[in-house]
Amino acid sequence: DGGITQSPKYLFRKEGQNVTLSCEQNLNHDAMYWYRQDPGQGLRLIYYSQIVNDFQKGDIAEGYSVSREKKESFPLTVTSAQKNPTAFYLCASSTGPVDEKLFFGSGTQLSVL
């Protein structure tokens, strides 16, 4: 079955540590997105990529980095520069521009030790 796989489901970060969240899709989608979800707030866009080897910052990119070396994969690194990383992170993909149907992964809950 086609879909988006995020891993791990739960992740813990120590002070000063970088951690990487995985997002893989087998839907042959060009566009991929990373969102952050905090309690009581709407999803906020961290980074997005419309095509391989290209990505753009979203609204809250500071403290995060991404890569898009393969169409199927869009990993997100939460760096030590992100001072408040505890949140639920969601990866999404679509066939093209944002007005297409979105497919979401099951999310990764990141917590700081």
Which of 74, 90, 93, 110 binds another protein (CB under 8 A)? It is 90
Task: Write the binding mask 10 to 49 for another protein: x where contact by CB under 8 A, - elsewhere.
Answer: ------------------------------xxxxxx----
Residue with tokens 């879909």: 3
User: Which residues, 6 or more positions from 46, have their beta carbon under 8 angstroms from its beta carbon?
Assistant: 34, 35, 36, 58, 59, 60, 61, 64, 66, 76, 89
Are 82 and 38 a contacting pair, CB within 8 Å?
A: no
From the CB of 109, what's the least distance to another protein, in Å?
7
Residues lying near another protein in the complex (CB under 8 A)? 40-45, 58-59, 88, 90, 92, 98-107, 109
